[in-house]
């Protein structure tokens, strides 16, 4: 696995100021939303051609309300606290001018992990992805672990 | 009439409209190509009918656009953004003649060409609920059947 993704660093220059780790090869088959809900076989978006997935009845994938609904369906509720809470799994949504651009989920260790578009998966800090490309964290959501167990590592 | 309608559409809607030809009516929302009288070139127009120089030029342009699109969209999560990219739109506008190159690219480096293929051909051979890989394989089989891919 490569240690750095220079193209990714170009679009997210804050990554150069913080530590990040590439954890997968480039993979076009799933995106950040899919990754955040644990699905590595579908690219989640509401495109009306077969080969993409978007849950029925969920508002447009181009809207923050649509992305928020996805995670509500998966048991998350909105919160203001993105710190590590051992009994909760958390996701954050990055947006620019209310347009959702990216989502990351928190691992049990407290580090954040996400799929970078059609590119690699990485572990990163929240600040590392903030900037002109993905915008900033605008929403934090959490769900309680079931019987003390996380659905996703 | 058609031009007037198309002028009134946003760029996104023009691209999206071309992707919705095959959606069952009960699942439709928003704008649709056949509602808007957007015409597609006849599928019978085979790539080999144009002079070789034209195809060399087309191939060069396709690869330049491909390189630009791939670089610019690598980190997009949004399919809307990918298909709104000017290079993607230009490839769609190339129409039937670009299909041999597009299928070859899809075969060698699978990427988000399903929308473009649907927009150009008006077809969607992938099964409902297919994964991205399954949809790519269905398109490649379709392309081979039509002679666009060896």
| Cβ partners under 8 Å of residue A144, min gap 6 | A75, A87, A88
Distance CA A29, CA A43 (A): 6
Per-residue pLDDT tens for B61-79? 999 999 999 999 999 999 9
**Residue A15 in this model has a pLDDT that exceeds 60:** yes
User: Do A117 and B74 form a contact (C-beta atoms < 8 A)?
Assistant: yes
Are A118 and B135 within 8 A, CB to CB?
Answer: no
Which residue reads 């978006």 in tokens? A45
Interface test with B, best of A32, A42, A48 (most B CBs within 10 A): A48
- A/B interface, count of CB pairs below 8 Å: 97
B84 touches chain A (CB under 8 A): no
Comparing B1 with A28, the larger pLDDT belongs to A28
How many CB atoms lie under 10 A from the CB of residue B148? 23
**Residue A137 in this model has a pLDDT that exceeds 80:** yes
Q: Which residues of A119-129 are buried (b: 16+ CB within 10 A; e: fewer)?
A: bbbbbbbbebb
User: Do B127 and B138 form a contact (C-beta atoms < 8 A)?
Assistant: yes
H-assigned helices in chain B: 2-8, 11-17, 52-73, 79-84, 86-94, 99-108, 114-121, 132-145
Window A:42-101, CB contacts with B under 8 Å: 42-43, 45, 47-53, 61-62, 101
Q: Which residue of B has its CA nearest to A29?
A: B132
Per-residue pLDDT tens for A48-89? 899 999 999 999 999 999 999 999 999 999 999 999 999 999
Which residue reads 């015409």 in tokens? B39
pTM: predicted TM-score of the whole model, two decimal places = 0.81
The pair of three-digit structure tokens given for residue B83, joined into one six-digit string = 């298909």
User: Do A138 and A77 form a contact (C-beta atoms < 8 A)?
Assistant: no
Per-residue pLDDT tens for A82-128? 999 999 999 999 999 989 999 999 999 999 999 999 999 999 999 99
Per-residue pLDDT tens for B97-124? 999 999 999 999 999 999 999 999 999 9
Which residue reads 């060896």 in tokens? B150
Give residue A152's pLDDT. 82
How would you classify the pairing of strands A52-53 and A43-44?
parallel
Distance CA A20, CA A148 (A): 28
């Amino acid at each position: 696995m490569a240690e750095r993704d220079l193209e990714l660093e170009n679009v997210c220059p804050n990554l150069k100021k913080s530590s990040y780790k590439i954890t997968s090869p480039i993979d076009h088959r799933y995106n950040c939303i899919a990754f955040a809900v644990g699905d590595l076989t579908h690219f989640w978006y509401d495109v009306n051609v077969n080969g993409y997935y978007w849950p029925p009845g969920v508002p447009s994938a181009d809207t923050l309300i649509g992305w928020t609904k996805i995670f509500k369906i998966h048991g998350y509720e909105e919160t203001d606290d993105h710190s590590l809470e051992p009994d909760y799994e958390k996701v954050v949504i990055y947006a620019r001018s209310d347009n959702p651009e990216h989502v990351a989920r928190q691992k049990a260790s407290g580090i954040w992990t996400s799929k970078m578009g059609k590119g690699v998966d990485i572990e990163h800090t929240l600040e590392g992805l903030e900037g002109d490309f993905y915008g900033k964290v605008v929403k934090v959501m959490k769900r309680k672990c079931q019987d003390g167990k996380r659905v996703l590592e | 009439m058609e031009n007037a309608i198309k002028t009134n559409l946003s760029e996104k809607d023009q691209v999206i409209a071309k992707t919705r030809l095959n959606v069952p009516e009960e699942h439709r929302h928003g704008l649709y190509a056949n509602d808007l009288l957007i015409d597609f070139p006849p599928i019978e127009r085979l790539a080999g009918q144009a002079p070789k120089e034209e195809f060399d030029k087309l191939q060069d342009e396709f690869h330049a656009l491909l390189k630009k699109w791939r670089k610019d969209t690598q980190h997009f999560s949004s399919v809307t953004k990918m298909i709104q990219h000017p290079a993607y739109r230009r490839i769609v506008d190339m129409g039937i003649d670009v299909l041999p190159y597009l299928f070859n690219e899809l075969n060698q480096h699978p990427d988000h060409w399903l929308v473009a293929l649907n927009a150009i051909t008006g077809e969607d051979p992938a099964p409902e609920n297919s994964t991205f890989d399954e949809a790519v394989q269905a398109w490649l089989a379709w392309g081979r059947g039509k002679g666009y891919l060896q």
